[in-house]
């Protein structure tokens, strides 16, 4: 039987009973360690039978609404396919697997250390997933760049990663030219993460708009430079500005079979947004938690650099106006 991510409308009684068995196993595991961030039980096809997420990023997140749905509501359409392959392997070998993944809390991505285990039951086929928030910080346990994003770890790659990241940050810090900061940001992230597209969108609080001021993109894509988006018509951008948290969105193009994901992040100075970064992965490639951690760290520096450059530009303009007034 093929593994699919289709949703289910109901849960049979045997699933409910076995979900209780799985929940008892979950409780024992949680009692032996610190409380898990997320605990989910689902069947072999990904239908969620129970979900607990007491530390969800949104206080009003309704876990009960996910029960009976596909695990895709937590993973998204890109990540669910490799996840279900892993489920198949866990059930076949009857051995747990540990990995890192990005889970959706509404529209916000959350990086987790995840353990997937078969549920011991005589008459059902189910798995238990326990996820704990990643405690790593990228300078201490960095992701490694390669042609497919951040995936492997080796001493040589760690050194290369640090060199690339330091180079991007240093280039941004050593200039007060706004256009240079924008361009070095998209070029650096685009090449480091092998992105299909990376945009810097300047934020106008007065107009409630975002305007694409610089971009990095692969040759087969159309340019976006100069486009202006009204926040009220772009819920992903609006949510990014309102929450100042990363927002992940899914898209499907008619000319591309696989779906792709877009990550938007606000750059800020003193908790005030001044731009939004848009990062688009190649179709079919999921985000790695440490990729998001990397971008988060860099956006802090980008936001400060943008603010300083704008202040410098305003002071230069004022000085020029005063000079003309005194002539």
Say if CB 230 and CB 217 are below 8 A apart: no
Q: Considering only residues 326 and 26, tell me which one the structure prediction assigns the higher pLDDT.
A: 326
CATH architecture under which domain 13-133 falls: 2-Layer Sandwich (3.30)
The per-residue pLDDT for 134 is 78
How do residues 24-35 score in pLDDT, each as one tens digit? 454 544 444 455
Say if CB 278 and CB 241 are below 8 A apart: no
Instruction: Check pLDDT > 50 for residue 202.
Output: yes
Adjacent-strand bridge partners of 126? 43
The structural domains of the chain, with segments of one domain joined by +, span 13-133, 145-317
Instruction: Check pLDDT > 80 for residue 152.
Output: no
**Distance separating alpha carbons of residues 59 and 306, to the nearest angstrom:** 32
How do residues 165-201 score in pLDDT, each as one tens digit? 778 888 898 999 999 999 999 999 999 889 999 999 9
The per-residue pLDDT for 30 is 45
Instruction: Calculate ∠ Cα 299-300-306, nearest 5°.
Output: 80
The number of residues making up the chain comes to 327
Q: Closest Cα partner for 281 from 263, 256, 264?
A: 263
Instruction: Check pLDDT > 70 for residue 102.
Output: yes
Q: What does the mean pLDDT of the chain come to?
A: 82
Adjacent-strand bridge partners of 264? 247, 278
pLDDT band at 6 (very low <50, low <70, confident <90, very high): very low
The per-residue pLDDT for 34 is 53
The per-residue pLDDT for 166 is 75
CATH architecture under which domain 145-317 falls: 2-Layer Sandwich (3.30)
**Distance separating alpha carbons of residues 103 and 3, to the nearest angstrom:** 20
What's the mean pLDDT in 96-124?
A: 90
Judge whether 13-133 and 145-317 match in fold. yes
How do residues 43-73 score in pLDDT, each as one tens digit? 999 999 999 998 787 777 889 999 999 999 9
Instruction: Calculate ∠ Cα 257-4-6, nearest 5°.
Output: 95
């Amino acid at each position: 039987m093929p593994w699919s991510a289709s949703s289910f409308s109901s849960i049979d009684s045997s699933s409910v009973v076995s979900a209780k068995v799985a929940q008892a196993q979950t409780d024992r595991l949680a009692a032996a360690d610190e409380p898990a961030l997320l605990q989910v039980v689902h069947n072999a096809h990904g239908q969620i039978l129970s979900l607990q997420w007491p530390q969800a990023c949104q206080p009003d997140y309704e876990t009960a609404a996910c029960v009976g749905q596909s695990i895709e509501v937590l993973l998204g359409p890109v990540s669910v396919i490799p996840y279900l392959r892993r489920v198949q392997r866990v059930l076949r070998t009857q051995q747990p697997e540990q990995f890192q993944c990005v889970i959706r809390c509404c529209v916000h991505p959350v990086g987790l250390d995840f353990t997937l285990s078969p549920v011991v039951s005589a008459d059902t086929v189910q798995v238990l997933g326990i996820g704990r928030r990643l405690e790593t910080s990228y300078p201490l346990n960095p992701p490694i760049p390669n042609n497919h994003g951040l995936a492997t770890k080796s001493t040589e790659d760690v050194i290369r990663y640090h060199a690339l990241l330091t180079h991007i940050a240093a280039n941004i810090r050593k200039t007060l030219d706004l256009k240079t900061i924008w361009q070095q940001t998209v070029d650096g992230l685009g090449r480091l993460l092998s992105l299909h597209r990376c945009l810097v969108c300047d934020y106008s609080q007065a107009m409630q708009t975002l305007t694409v001021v610089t971009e990095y993109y692969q040759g087969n894509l159309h340019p976006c430079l100069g486009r202006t988006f009204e926040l009220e018509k772009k819920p992903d951008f609006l949510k990014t500005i309102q929450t100042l948290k990363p927002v992940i969105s899914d898209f499907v193009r008619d000319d591309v079979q696989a779906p792709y994901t877009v990550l938007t992040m606000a750059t800020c100075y003193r908790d005030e947004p001044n731009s939004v970064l848009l990062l688009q992965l190649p179709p079919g490639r999921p985000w790695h938690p440490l990729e998001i951690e990397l971008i988060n760290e860099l956006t802090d520096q980008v936001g400060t650099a943008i603010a300083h450059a704008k202040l410098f530009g305003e002071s230069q303009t004022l000085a020029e106006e005063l000079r003309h007034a005194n002539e």
